[in-house]
Chain A
């Protein structure tokens, strides 16, 4: 009976996460009721999403973009490549698991091969030998796995700090966390620093894309949403979505 309190915090964290997510969805539903007719049918929570988008954009401008810019300026390119490769290699664990769940044989084989080659011969993932050898990464997550088996994405949802998502993909984030090796790193400080490093490194790869978005969009929110939903649909079909019109 007392065993519960001795359990590691992972399950508690999951529960907190799920509860927070539940709150987000409820809020979104409430906001959705206020959405004016004539909006995008894939985005019934638009007014809620827009305010989260503004919040995320503010955080990005104030914290993330400056951090990523400094990171890019301070660290030489080979080091950043190593960091990116390292986290990419960790990510291949979950990519492999999901390609198996999707019964994509070639993708599974290639992801597993990548993981082995890069971990064993690429200094624990710092070098991406696999890509150079022509073994491409197949990015798969649990949302895509559900999509593969017919679960529709549901309404578009912008999550605080995490950004664009859909109800389907947001609801399985706790499962994606299980597949994230960083979840299992003990010691708050190490795990925390690694998580921050990963976020900053990821953002630093999108600095130019962010600039492009600023330049190319008439409405950044709509541009991001429409691009994101298309990209996710394409990901579910591994880049070969059924053809439609234009």
Chain B
């Protein structure tokens, strides 16, 4: 197990290194630069700015400089938000996104698993059809449509829920639902099909012959066998969602990391692009390791090598 984890961390570091190289290259291939604006900048000012932010050296040197900073925990200065470091921006916005995303994914996993199992149990009946219709909607309708519809109904017409910011628990309801809808729908469908498969297995017949209740048959005997695809999906999903959704944060006016991520790309804020990408990559790689370990916890037949 320890050997396995060490090996995985080694691979993870390699992956993150490759991602940093690719990101750096692609980022510099995008035309334009951080100091271009409608107002013309004199060559002297341009040169001074580039010198201040270390953009006057060769590209490979810039990469080396950035990476050596990264290894010391310094993600660099933001080129656009004066006086703020990338560390400061990421660690002040990430908790907001993480909290919102975490709650959403928890909801998506719990509700998706339960609804999917239920749909499998009720296969072909109207309950199953209803769940399938809702989950198809969840997959087909984009989040900005969900968000604006919810805001219109619950915020504007009924005036039940606030629509801007995250100041009280009530504020969380609409963005959480918007964020959770798609993954919940996806997990429901995954769960339904793998549950149908599990319910047809011989060990379910054995459980039935033992006199096990329907609830225990579904949620003890079948669920643990059927949940592997959900775990596979939920790991990377968690990484993506806690790192913030641009659309949801923009619509609900939430100061999260998702917004920063998009803004820094459009603004060619090089250190921010590198830092946010590497941050997301690290989260993703980490979640994949967690998923692999969870497989082993759920299914004893799986061997970690």
Chain A complexes with chain B: no
Residues of chain B at the chain A interface (Cβ within 8 Å): none
